[in-house]
Structure 1
Amino acid sequence: MKLGSKTHFYSEGQTHERDVGILYDGTTDRVVVGKSVAKPLNLGIIQVYAQTSDSEDVEVEKFYEKIEKAKGYVKSQDIIIVMGDFNAKVGDERVEDVVGPSGIGTVNERGSRLIEWCQVNDFTITNTWYPNHPRRQWT
């Protein structure tokens, strides 16, 4: 279904509690929002794919602005999960409740930006809190 400049993909159940949908803004090529009715709280998933480290800082800032805009499509009382590839290294040293001890690599500029954004928005980089199989360290 078209909603202005956006496309709403949905699977309508027989009752309101079984609806699931994804709202896609065709102009946003790096951020997509999916919303699902759930209990006890609804769920909003923001799927992202960030620019590589070769990108200009202004492009990275536009990317974070798109994430902020996407958060606006999800109610503040909903569970919000932001996931995907941030093309960032956040390191393996704990940073408050944001970064755990099981990250990889050395913090890079994109990683610092991600950590800062998580601190401001009260998010946790969850895959840094659990040990994972050894991975190749890219430089």
Structure 2
Amino acid sequence: MMISKRYRNALLLAKTYPSADCYSDHVPVVGKFKLKLKKNSKPFTNIKFDLAILKTNQTIREKYQISVQNKFEALGDAEEVEQQWENFNSAIMEAATEVIPKVKRKAKQKWMTEEILNLIEERRCAKGNKEKYEQIHKKVQEKWNMSKVNWINEKCKEKEQQRKHAPQTMYRNIEEFTGKRTFLSTGWKKSNTW
């Protein structure tokens, strides 16, 4: 029995039936498979709102309060708790989408620019077209490496200036540059008792 390499672990049992009368010179082969199907999941996008703006911006806070109040007044009294929760949740989410701005995407690495983020998004959209994907991927890698080298050079110059003028701050800021934290270790006292 020939089987694809991918499914070699899925084949549990294979039997031949040489005595089967099926008017053929071939011997029928029966196999037992254990196959797991991938769950078809719906893409869930969690919308992140910039809630910190409610503390800082008075006008947006007032607009949000008015919007939520209007949504609650428009709601009817539901008898079931589940229905009340759904109404409550939908009212707050609708008011938030109308008034509160979404959180801007933030780069994980400090050297990433908006241009690189846009190229990454463009690359993600071009997954179906292999040639275009590879072309954009090369651009992303070039920009990424160039940006990283520039960021490291800039930080090194900054550290040189700090070494000359403020060595204490230089050592405090090395953690940001290397990504490693230094911990003060306390000594261990060896006891003679076992």
Quick one: higher RCO (CA 8 Å, sep 6+), 1 or 2? 1
- Same topology, TM > 0.5: no
Higher percent of residues as helix? 2
What is the TM-score when the length of structure 2 is the normalising length? 0.18
* TM-score normalized with structure 1 length: 0.22
